[in-house]
Homo-oligomer: A and B are copies of this chain.
Amino acid sequence: MSEEIENIQFELTDELISQVERLIEARDNKALQKLLKDFHHADIAEILDELDLDEAIYIIKLLDSETTADILMELDEDNREKVLRNLSSKEIADEIGELDTDDAADIISELPEDRKREVISHIEDKEHQAEIEELLAYHEDTAGGLMAKELVKVYETWTVAGCLRRIRGQAKEVTRVHSIYVVDKKNKLVGRLSLKDLIVAKSDQKIAEISNSSVDSVNVHDDAEDVARIMQKYDLEAIPVVDDNQILLGRITIDDIVDVMKEEAEKDYQLAAGITADVEADDSIWELTKARLPWLLIGMFGGIGAASIINGFSDAMLKFPALLMFIPLIQATAGNVGVQSSAIVVQGLANDSIDGNVLSRLFKEFLLGLVNGLAIACIVLLISHFVFQTTYLESLTICVALISVIIMAALIGTFIPIFLDKRGIDAAVATGPFITTSNDVFGILMYFLIAKLILGF
C-alpha cells in the first residue's frame, strides 16, 4: 500500500505530450486510458491545454464522463469553449450531470443562449436540472452565482442517531461535508453543526441541543468580493447562503473563494499595468491588442498634451536649452511617484485598512513627497551642476520643479483612488497608465511654470 503514496510532483514534459500525441495518432485507446488513469484530472487538463483541438476532443470522448467533466472544469476558458463547441448538446449534458450544481451552472453560462436551453433540456436528473436552472438566474458576481445547491441539511427536531442515519444518504452526494446546516420546518437556517460535533455527541441528544445557533450566513444577492472578504476575515471554509427570509438556499466553499481572490488579484495587477481585459500571454494578437491599445492611446494623448505644452514654451526652450535635458527626468519621476502612491492607496482600500480622513492622508503624502523630493533634488543638483554645468538659476529651477512635481504626483496618486472609491468606482482603474499619464502632463506643465517664475522668460 505504501508504495502508492507519493509527494505531488506532476511535471508537464514535452516527452509526455508527444507520447500522448503518438498514442492518439495510433488510435491506441487502451494504452491512452492506461497512461491517463493515474493522473489527476487537473493534470490531464494541463496536458489537453497543450494538445491540438482535435486531439483534446479525442481524449474527452475517450475517457468516461465522470473524469472528463472534472477535466473540462480545469481547462483554460478559451480551450473549454472550443471543446464544448465540438460536443453535442447531449454530450455536454452528460458531462454536466457529473458536476456539482455550481460548476455545472458555470459551464452552461459560458454557452451561447440557444445552446444553453438545449443542454439544460438534455440533463437527465430532473432535480439536478431544476437546481442548475435556479443557479443560472443569479448574477455571476453575487453569492448566488458562487453557491452550490449540494449541502447537508438536518432538522432541529431530529436526534443525533436519526440524523447520522439520514445524513448518510445526503452526504454521499456532497463531495466535502464542511458543515451540517440545521433548519426549522420552514427551511429557515437556525444553526450549524460539524460532523465532529455529531460524532462526539451522545446518540439520543436532540440536534437543537448540540447545534451552534450563531451561524454566519450571507444573502444570495451579496457581492462575490464581499463574500470572499468575509470568508477570509473569519477564516471560514464554507458559508451558507440564505434569501431575504433566512431560507437556506445553498452554500459557498473556500475553493470557490480562492478562485475569486485570484481573479481579483490578477485583474488589479493587469489594471495597474494598463491592460483592460482579462488576457493571457497565449491569447491572440487581436485579443491582446484590444486589451492593450486603449491605455496606449490614453498615454498617447498625454504625450500630445505634453508636446503642446513644450510647444507653448518654445521661445524659452531656445533660451535655456539645459532645461530640455531634464524633461525625461521630471516626467519619469512624476510617473514613478504617482504609481507608488496610488498602489499603496488602492491596496489599502482593498483591505479596508484605510480609514476615512482624506486630509490627514494627503498631508502625510505631502510630507513623504517632501522627504523623497529633497533627497532626489540634492543628488540631481550635484549632477546637473558638475556634469551638465547648468547655471545657478537653472539648477535651482530643476530642483524646485523636482520637489514640487514629486509632491504633486504623490497627492494626485493618493487623491484620485480615494475620490473614485467614494464615488463607488473601483479604485484599481486609477493606477498605472492613468496616473502616469496625468502626472506626465501636469508634471511638465508645472516644470515650465516654475522655470518661468525663476528664470523669468
Choose among A7, A230, A347, A375 the residue with the greatest number of B CB atoms under 10 Å from its CB: A7
Contacts of A297 in B (CB 8 A): 376, 379
Give a binary string over A294-317; 1 marks a CB under 8 Å from any B CB, 0 the rest.
011101101110111011001001
- Cα–Cα, bound, A258→B191 (Å): 26
Contacts of A4 in B (CB 8 A): 213-214
- Cα–Cα, bound, A289→B156 (Å): 58
Whether the pair A230, B8 counts as a contact (CB closer than 8 A) is yes
Using CB atoms, name the residue of chain B closest to A273: B343
- Cα–Cα, bound, A275→B354 (Å): 18
Q: Among residues 175 to 193 in chain A, which have CB atoms less than 8 Å away from a CB atom of chain B?
A: 176-177, 184, 188-191
Interface residues on A, range: 35 or more
- Cα–Cα, bound, A411→B251 (Å): 46
Whether the pair A246, B213 counts as a contact (CB closer than 8 A) is no
Q: A299-B332, A303-B332 are in contact. List 12 more A-B contacts (CB 8 A).
A: A2-B190, A5-B189, A5-B217, A167-B199, A176-B237, A268-B269, A273-B339, A273-B343, A300-B380, A307-B328, A311-B325, A332-B335
Whether the pair B328, A295 counts as a contact (CB closer than 8 A) is no
From A60-68, A360-368, A419-427, give the one contacting chain B. A360-368
A293 contacts the other chain (CB 8 A): yes
Contacts of A331 in B (CB 8 A): 303, 328, 331-332
Q: Among residues 136 to 188 in chain A, which have CB atoms less than 8 Å away from a CB atom of chain B?
A: 156, 164, 167-168, 171-172, 174, 176-177, 184, 188
Contacts of A379 in B (CB 8 A): 297, 300
Whether the pair A218, B371 counts as a contact (CB closer than 8 A) is no
Sample of 19 A–B contacts (CB below 8 Å):
A2-B188, A5-B246, A7-B217, A8-B216, A42-B233, A177-B196, A272-B272, A281-B344, A282-B348, A295-B336, A302-B329, A308-B387, A310-B327, A317-B324, A318-B321, A324-B327, A328-B440, A331-B332, A336-B433
A340 contacts the other chain (CB 8 A): yes
Pick from B292, B306, B372, B376: contact of A340, CB below 8 A.
Answer: B292
- Cα–Cα, bound, A337→B258 (Å): 30
Contacts of A455 in B (CB 8 A): none
Pick from B156, B199, B270, B272: contact of A195, CB below 8 A.
Answer: B199
Closest beta carbon of chain B to A360's beta carbon, Å: 11
- Cα–Cα, bound, A347→B384 (Å): 39
Whether the pair B296, A336 counts as a contact (CB closer than 8 A) is yes
Whether the pair B343, A275 counts as a contact (CB closer than 8 A) is yes
From A51-59, A82-90, A259-267, give the one contacting chain B. A259-267
Q: Among residues 408 to 451 in chain A, which have CB atoms less than 8 Å away from a CB atom of chain B?
A: 431-433, 436-437, 440, 444
A285 contacts the other chain (CB 8 A): yes
- Cα–Cα, bound, A169→B270 (Å): 49
Contacts of A384 in B (CB 8 A): 307
Pick from B237, B274, B288, B326: contact of A339, CB below 8 A.
Answer: B274
Q: Among residues 238 to 278 in chain A, which have CB atoms less than 8 Å away from a CB atom of chain B?
A: 242, 246, 254-255, 257-258, 261-262, 265-266, 268-270, 272-275
A123 contacts the other chain (CB 8 A): no
- Cα–Cα, bound, A318→B382 (Å): 26
Q: Among residues 38 to 76 in chain A, which have CB atoms less than 8 Å away from a CB atom of chain B?
A: 40, 42, 50, 76
Q: Among residues 1 to 46 in chain A, which have CB atoms less than 8 Å away from a CB atom of chain B?
A: 1-2, 4-8, 40, 42
Choose among A222, A343, A353, A431 the residue with the greatest number of B CB atoms under 10 Å from its CB: A343
Whether the pair A269, B8 counts as a contact (CB closer than 8 A) is no
Contacts of A285 in B (CB 8 A): 364, 367-368, 371
Whether the pair A273, B326 counts as a contact (CB closer than 8 A) is no
Contacts of A436 in B (CB 8 A): 332, 335-336
Contacts of A432 in B (CB 8 A): 339
Contacts of A340 in B (CB 8 A): 273-275, 292, 295-296
- Cα–Cα, bound, A50→B356 (Å): 12
